[in-house]
Amino acid sequence: MRDVVLPLRHSRAWALFSIVLVAVVVVGSLVPGADSPKIPLGDKWQHALTYGGLALWFSGIVRRSAFLWVAGGLLALGGLMELLQAVATTARSADIRDMLANTIGIAAGLAIACAGAAGWAVKVEKWLNAR
């Protein structure tokens, strides 16, 4: 695992916040729609931005060699959320178009990472340590 994660001084804090982010997505995906906050975007935009944000987040704390694992993990998370919406909730329903939006978001997030944003957490730590 250590060869996948970037050498970060505050790796436990990054890992904890990563868990919190994923937990927020899980809860947000499974609570009834009436209980979720109203965001003035279309549902598919929310999916794309959420999963794109997660992809960008994880691309900041792992090595480029792990980007395929990030993509696979996020695709699995999205698929699991759709499955749970179909079988474990009555207020939500699964939609293959949500998975497509998730996939587009993941691809966009990783494309941004590959274009120069990868490893951003290392840069943040350097900036914080310089202050």
DSSP string covering 69-131: HHHHHHHHHHHHHHHHHHHT-SS----HHHHHHHHHHHHHHHHHIIIIITTHHHHHHHHHHH-
pLDDT band, residue 25 (cuts 50/70/90): very high
Residue 92 pLDDT: 85
pLDDT band, residue 120 (cuts 50/70/90): very high
Residue 34 pLDDT: 59
**What is the distance between the alpha carbons of residues 66 and 14, in angstroms, rounded to a whole number?**
16
**What are 62's strand-pairing partners?**
5
**What is the distance between the alpha carbons of residues 82 and 127, in angstroms, rounded to a whole number?**
39
Residue 83 pLDDT: 96
Stretch 82-111: mean pLDDT, rounded?
94
pLDDT band, residue 2 (cuts 50/70/90): low
The pLDDT of residue 39 is above 70: no
The pLDDT of residue 18 is above 90: yes
The pLDDT of residue 100 is above 70: yes
The pLDDT of residue 36 is above 90: no
Stretch 88-103: mean pLDDT, rounded?
92
